[in-house]
Structure 1
Amino acid sequence: MNITAATAVTVRDPWSLVPSLGNLDAYVSAVNRMPMLTPTEETELARALRDKGDVQAAGRLVLSHLRLVVSISRQYLGYGLPQGDLIQEGNVGLMKAVKRFDPEQGVRLVSYAMHWIKAEIHEYILKNWRMVKVATTKAQRKLFFNLRSMKQGMKGEAADADTHRNTLTPAEVASVARELNVKADEVVEMEMRLSGGDVALEPQTDDGEESYAPIAYLADDSQEPTRVIEARSRDWLAGDGIAQALNALDERSRRIVEERWLKVNDDSSGGMTLHELAAEYGVSAERIRQIEVAAMKKMRKALVPA
């Protein structure tokens, strides 16, 4: 069969059916008018793409399945994300499916592409449904979508009994865990993530002191430049700085300073008193105090950068 002649009869220029403007209704209407491929046409086009890298064949395969993406995207409108974005991500999955499709496997492209389309839409939802990801591992992603779907079904069944209950009962948690083959704790944790909302870091009003948002207490100033410089300066003074200042003193002055300020006895009572040092050196306590004051001034001068 001559695939080129067959497709030419069906539609002369399939790309012309896609509207150039970003109107979702026009796009959906256009893709629904795209001609469907017969199994023979699909196989011939897939072989042309696989064996010859025929870009036009790839285009025909993609165009004929755009309506599938639109249909699948409608299943995810409950997440509050724009359908146009869902379709766009689904189209990416469709193109990936067309690129990897093997016509010799004995399955239609529509069945093969569904997995890739849903995978891309799932990834988009997980990245954009919340500011912070609610699911990161493969198991969490599966639980995320299955749990949300099951909760909606349970709400419908229990609508008459309790219209205000949003959380699952222990019995429902156990039921979901058994059906999905996961632990009950995992169901509870995922439900908490689903029910949690985003909180704006910045205040949303201009009420001055009355405005309070997480940014006010989440700020970390430990890496602020002036704080870093101050911390480095303190560390230097407590180590090399104090050693440098002590080296500028004579032996007696240094010992007086060390005994008065830098030594701690076993009973945590501090160093020697003025009277104890006075008795040791045979001078008055006032003289020891004067030596101490002079030593402190000399140490401060030694610590001032040149």
Structure 2
Amino acid sequence: MKDFNGKVVVITGAGSGIGRELAWQLAACGAVLALNDLKEDALDETWAELPERTRGLRRAFDVGDREAMQHFATAVNEELGRVDVVVNNAGFSVRQQAVVHTRVEAYERTLRVNLWGVIYGSLAFLPYLRQQPGASLVNVSSVFGLFAFPGSGPYNTSKFAVRGFTETLRVEMRGHLHVCCVHPGGIATNIHRNVEIDDPRERERFIRTFEKQAKTTAAEAARQIIAGIEKRKSRILIGRDAYWIDKVTRLLPARYESVLARWLDRNRFLAGPQVQGSSEKGG
């Protein structure tokens, strides 16, 4: 689908970051947009910057709400007449903490958005996507769906699961629907500033380290996703770090932890009590 003009594109998590950039760039290509975000004010900010002719509809709701997602899919199809592309982009992250110190509620909160939001979004829109030749379903995972990172149990779990779900669907839909899994590396968005770390010094150190490593802008990430849809890629790696991580985990699937450990030691990333355990309460 090299021509997005007049095509209906659905984007979740469009209130900021990659989702907002996707909306703006696809609008410039003439797409008609159906946008979602949990935060209505953020969604309105994205909406306000769109050309009138590209404004399809917008809905503020939790993507982890199955009924709300189904209503959204029905509304998009009924009001806009078709669905050509769906990008399940909405994501959520909780505090950085070792698995043994992470409460189960952190998993429930993270999987509700990162995994169930993708599953609900995919299943709700699949019947409409399959009606359109050349349609695409794009699910955003992460490099955290390629390798295990200490202190990120809930997030890793959700992103590995998104990868598994999407790759299974891709195999099943082969020849019938373009299905793509996206693995961004460190992207210069605000998601890292929402991570819950109680110790202010640890939190600031985490933010500084992340921002030092996150070299890819949200605009560039969106550009690569759009190019990947155009080329009907099955997998999109975004950022030099994503390519590096992918190569290491494929070449050393049983030993990449030792390579990762050296990198962590060099960058003092999540060092000390965050990984070793502390008195912090789970997210």
**Interval containing the TM-score (normalised by the shorter chain):** under 0.3
User: What TM-score do you get using the length of structure 1 for normalisation?
Assistant: 0.25
Question: Could you say which structure has the higher helix fraction?
Answer: 1
Q: Which has the higher contact order (CA 8 A, sep 6+)?
A: 2
Question: Could you say which structure has the higher strand fraction?
Answer: 2
User: What TM-score do you get using the length of structure 2 for normalisation?
Assistant: 0.26
For the pair shown, which has the larger CA radius of gyration, 1 or 2? 1
